[in-house]
Amino acid sequence: MRTSNPTLSDSTFSKVAAGVTNPMTLQGTVNKTALLLMILLVPAAYTWNATMANPAASGMYIAVGAIVGLILAVITSFKMEWSPITAPLYAAAEGVFLGAISARYNMVYEGIVLQAVMLTCGTLLGLLAAYSMRLIKATENFKLGIVAATGGIMLVYLATMVLRMFNIDIPYIHGSGTVGIGFSVVVVIIAALNLVMDFDFIENGCAQGAPKYMEWYASFGLLVTLVWLYLEMLRLLAKLADRK
């Protein structure tokens, strides 16, 4: 079982599946994913309204949400058994972050957030249907390709963050030109295909009889991918809007 999602890495389930009497189920994972999304929406609505009322406050919400979310993600990745507590906290932190950053995007590109949400939900449902009908299969070569592509994207983003500390930007790929839009399209596709990896990973975890708390951990991993996909949708739509 290989996935490019760092929170759902190789052999995660097999490490904890031995001797389990109350295993995780697919329905339980679906329920907990829905709960995490509802938890995310509450602080997101608050920081959205707060940012709309006072745009200057958005920086604080974005920084706090991003930092706390990153810390909780790292803790959850290393302490999977804590996920029933840390996963909801992560969802809340991401809500703080996403509400503020979404409001900032919407101030510049009115209506872009609704479009990004609809595209993200549509992609999730479409890929889930395709995976359920076995139209898309997470073969070994498929997994290796997505792992390599995701790793490359993460390296580009890491290099971008480091270079911007010195007021240097990587040319073309972050702009609204043809190259920049093409880059964003590729990133959106890779982020979306990570969902297929996550579906496969969850299915295998249920088949292997992983413990019940892994429903929370698997839902947390899926949420990580959804947040990434939504942010990439926002970036792509913003670049397309700049072209008009």
- The residue among 241 and 10 whose pLDDT is bigger is 241
Per residue in 123-160, pLDDT (tens digit) is 999 999 999 888 888 888 888 899 899 999 999 988 88
- Say what the pLDDT of residue 138 is: 85
pLDDT digits (tens, 9 = 90+) for 195-210: 999 999 899 888 888 8
Q: Say what the pLDDT of residue 12 is.
A: 58
pLDDT of residue 243: 80
> Closest by alpha carbon to 69, among 86, 45, 49?
86
**How buried is 34 (Cβ within 10 angstroms: 0-12 exposed, 13-18 middle, 19+ buried)?**
exposed
Predicted confidence (pLDDT) at residue 6 exceeds the cutoff of 60: no
| 152 within 8 A of 142, measured Cβ to Cβ | no
The residue to which tokens 């707060």 are assigned:
50
3-class state of residue 23 by DSSP = strand
Residue 186, pLDDT > 90, answer: yes
Residue 19's pLDDT is 58
Per-residue pLDDT tens for 46-101? 999 999 999 999 999 999 999 999 999 999 999 999 999 999 999 999 999 999 99
pLDDT of residue 3: 46
- Judged against a pLDDT cut of 70, whether residue 10 lies above it is answered with no
Residue closest to 69 by CA, chosen among 227, 230, 195, 235: 227
In whole angstroms, what is the distance from residue 188 CA to residue 139 CA?
A: 20
The counts of H helices and E strands in the chain are 7, 0
Which tens digit of pLDDT belongs to each residue from 160-175? 888 888 888 777 788 8
